[in-house]
A and B are shown apart, each in its own frame.
Chain A
Amino acid sequence: MQPYELTLSAAADAVRTRRLSPVELVESVLERVERAEPHLQAYATVTAEHTRRAARAAEDDLAAGRHRGPLHGIPMGLKDLIDVAGIATSASSRVRAGHRAEASSTVAARLESGGAVLVGKTHTHEFAYGLTTPQTSNAWDTGRVAGGSSGGSAVAVAAGTATFALGTDTGGSIRVPAALNGVVGLKPTYGLVPRHGVTSLSWSLDHVGPITRTVEDAALVLDTLAGHDPRDPASLAVPAARYGPVAGTDLRGLRVGVPRNYYFDHVDPEVESAVRDAIDRLEELGARLVEVEIPMTRYIQATQWGLMVPEATAYHERTLRTVPELYQADVRILLEAGELMPAGDYLRAQRARTLMRREWAAMLRDVDLIAAPSVPATAVEAGQETITWADGTVEGVSDAYVRLSSPANITGVPSLSLPVGHDAAGLPIGMQLLGRPLGERVLLRAGHAYERSRPARGLARAA
Chain B
Amino acid sequence: LPPDRHAAVAATAHHIHSVVAVLRELDFADTPPAPAYRAEQETHDAAV
**A residues engaging B (CB < 8 A)?**
203-204, 228, 230, 233-234, 237, 298-299, 301-303, 305-306, 309, 333-334, 336-338, 340-341, 345, 347-355, 357
Contacts and interface: CB of A to CB of B under 8 A. Distances in A.
Contact of B13 (A301, A337, A347): A337
A352 B23 CA distance: 7
A354 B34 CA distance: 5
Across chains A and B, which 8 residue pairs bring their CB atoms closest together, nearest first? A350-B33, A230-B45, A337-B12, A337-B13, A340-B13, A348-B23, A353-B34, A233-B37
A355 B31 contact: yes
Summarize A's interface: helix, strand, loop or mixed. Answer: helix
Interface of B: 1, 5, 8-10, 12-13, 16-17, 19-24, 26, 28, 31-34, 36-37, 41-42, 44-46, 48
A328 B16 CA distance: 19
B23 A299 contact: yes
Contacts of B44: 237
Given A333-B9, A351-B32, A341 B37 contact: no
A296 to B, nearest CB: 9
Nearest to B26: A352
Nearest to B44: A237
Nearest to B15: A337
Contacts of A350: 33-34
A338 to B, nearest CB: 8
Contacts of B31: 351, 354-355
Contacts of B8: 333
30 contacts: A204-B34, A204-B36, A230-B46, A233-B42, A237-B45, A299-B22, A299-B26, A302-B19, A302-B22, A305-B19, A305-B20, A309-B20, A333-B8, A333-B9, A336-B1, A337-B12, A340-B10, A340-B13, A341-B17, A341-B20, A345-B17, A345-B23, A347-B33, A348-B20, A348-B26, A351-B26, A351-B33, A353-B34, A354-B34, A357-B34
